[in-house]
Structure 1
């Protein structure tokens, strides 16, 4: 293959990735093909490569959205600059003195795109680009609580237990999500990892749809639940400040 052909292939791949990233996704094959001007068979082949490498994910129904590697790349590029979001998040972290995260939804999971570590002796194992389930994490439950009923119901099937505290019964989880909507924030009380307790508020777009969440993560033997809950109002305020930067 000549260098010109290689460059052409790379640019076509980028065009497809840009089409997947357009607002209003996930997007179906026909939409992506029309947006790029690339024939459907070629678009499908490019999407296969992007899906296999983690830059794109399929929703299981023939539509495509950005994958974890795209979000991780975006976060890496953005972190090179002190954006307004970084300033807000770092100020918030200094106030609560705990590790804080931002994660964005991608299909049936969410992906960490921001992390500011606590200066305490313990470090969270989470990383930018890391994938987290929706049903047993604070950010995930903040997202689920604000999805349309039918869409949420489709995600509350076959829920795996990550710890002995994970809620796997859809009806029980639905009751908790109703409380999340009332409170404005969600809790993960050692449901995803033992000894880790998190609280999160959703990042909502202008139509009230969740695109992700911002969280505070704590070590249970260091920080009592009551000490975490003290920050709930400030967490909700911070999510409202950050939401326009991610929607």
Structure 2
């Protein structure tokens, strides 16, 4: 693919993974707002050697801390797609939580539009569908105190971090930039992806109607399903055993099947 030419060295900046035996499938994991890709690396032990966990690391965190933060999803999508395409060929699936769900969805469309291989599964977690989002939630515009209150309410940031002024000074710009990416996002009408979409949702997360999650299903031409988990927005932390079992069940058919989705 001449339109996706990021070098292997360039790809390494975007993708965290642990060395291990050859796998049958890669699971690319996309982070929530303020997240560090390293949170996904412990999943490797739970998912087993057939699945290689590859966590997408955005600029401004971890080893990329000195790099400028991104402000818009469109700034991240091409580089992520190129990093994925630069890896040795292997079937893959996408998992994205919250902001990460939007990133995984947009990268899927980017790959499709350029004739690239598509994920065998698109798993979107803790996120309303692209057309069911609330555009009025401009969390990135909150002052620091209000932003910290929002993080406390989401219950995804350790209390000791929120209570440490030095750590907050490092964290809040990242959170603010990521919230801006989510707030400014607008879906573009496109043909549905020829990829199964599974939606993960927390029973105690904020939603007015199940239709906010089922909105995702219109983005797949081959079907989708909704799986519920105990917990709030960060059920991925509190219901980890259930989550790992569900991921293995969803990905298992992709480990056995031969066809790869490809556009054109």
Fold shared, TM-score > 0.5 on shorter chain: no
Which of the two has greater strand per residue? 1
Q: Computing the radius of gyration over CA atoms, which structure comes out larger, 1 or 2?
A: 1
Task: State TM-score, norm by structure 1.
Answer: 0.26
Task: State TM-score, norm by structure 2.
Answer: 0.25
